[in-house]
């Protein structure tokens, strides 16, 4: 019988250096900063940290998407289809140019 448990994942906010109430923009900015530091093309790449940063960002983004969808369902909102009709006449060009005249005294 195997009683070993998988290692506990670190808190995604801690991995990205964020407070628990971070906004989506703050999460994205912290993710991009962390990726720049540990990316394989960086001067001192860190593959383990890279994997942790990607996992933390994925977890936070999934949570944000699920909570946004739950909020939409709770407010009874619904998508309303919108049809866009093409113009019946093509729009006029922004600028019209006449014939070009060449002046013999100018070169």
User: Which domains does the chain show, CATH number per domain?
Assistant: 12-74 (1.10.287.110)
* Sign of the alpha-carbon torsion through 88, 94, 97, 98: positive
Q: DSSP code of 90?
A: P
81: helix, strand or coil? coil
- Which is nearest to 53 in space by CA: 16, 25, 11, 21? 16
Q: How many helices (H) does the chain have, and how many strands (E)?
A: 3, 0
> Is pLDDT at 57 greater than 90 in this prediction?
yes
Picking from 53, 25, 23, the residue whose alpha carbon sits closest to that of residue 37 is 53
Compute the Cα dihedral for 36, 40, 41, 45 and give only its sign: positive
Query: Is residue 50 over pLDDT 70?
Result: yes
Residue with the larger pLDDT of the pair 20 and 79: 20
- Which pLDDT belongs to residue 31? 93
Q: How confident is the model at residue 5 (pLDDT cuts 50, 70, 90)?
A: low
Q: Average model confidence (pLDDT) for the chain?
A: 79
Place 8 in a pLDDT band, splitting at 50, 70 and 90: low
Q: What are phi and psi of 8, to 5 degrees?
A: -70, 135
25, pLDDT greater than 80: yes
Report percent pLDDT > 90 for the chain. Answer: 19
Q: What is the pLDDT of residue 55?
A: 92
């Amino acid at each position: 019988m195997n009683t070993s448990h998988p290692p506990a994942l670190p808190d995604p906010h801690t991995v990205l250096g964020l407070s628990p109430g971070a906004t989506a923009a703050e999460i994205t900015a912290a993710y991009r900063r962390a990726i720049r530091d540990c990316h394989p093309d960086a001067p001192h790449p860190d593959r383990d940290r890279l994997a942790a940063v990607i996992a933390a960002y994925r977890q936070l983004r999934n949570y944000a998407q699920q909570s946004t969808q739950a909020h939409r369902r709770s407010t009874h909102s619904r998508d309303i289809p919108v049809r866009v009709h093409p113009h019946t006449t093509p729009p006029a060009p922004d600028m019209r140019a006449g014939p070009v005249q060449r002046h013999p005294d100018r070169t």
